Amino acid sequence: MFEYIFFDEFLRDRFVSHARERGVDCVISDDPLGHTVAIPEELQEELLAELERHYDMLEQEQIALSRNQGDLKSLAGISFSLPDGESRMLSMQIEMANRLLASFSLEEIQQLFSDVARSALHPSEEHLCCVLRKKDQRD
């Protein structure tokens, strides 16, 4: 599934309506990060490209809305886990969150932040070349 994130329900609903008018099934979910819409990956390239263009247009509207509504609406939060399993939320500007989400899935971002937290709390003294050598020996 391809996932799209929205920070405004109205914009999410517009995307869902647009997709459903084109026969695309959507799965809607909400979490502390925002409102997500998942669509199947098995769509025709033209349809997927058209949905991407529509999402980009709505994303620009979201940025304009955020600027008009003040700083609180310009923040996003991404949750991640500490090594002991405790959950934390990292606040960031919406533009940064959107750039991350354009390249990585939410799960990948959360894993990255969890790995950074683990490394910060339990730093390794090994050099990267030693870590790579151990990995090569296991493979």
**Domains in the chain: boundaries:** 2-138
Q: Is the pLDDT of residue 17 over 60?
A: yes
What percent of the chain stands above pLDDT 90? 21
What is the chain's length?
A: 139
Of the candidates 44, 52, 49, the one whose C-alpha atom is nearest the C-alpha of residue 23 is 44
Mean residue pLDDT across the chain: 83
Query: pTM higher than 0.85, yes or no?
Result: no
Q: Is the pLDDT of residue 41 over 60?
A: yes
- Residue pair 97/62 in contact by the 8 Å Cβ criterion: no
Q: Left (φ > 0), alpha (ψ -120 to 50) or beta: where does 34 sit?
A: left
pLDDT tens digit string along 65-120? 766 665 445 667 787 888 888 878 787 887 788 888 888 888 888 899 999 998 88
Whole-number pLDDT of residue 85? 82
Whole-number pLDDT of residue 123? 83
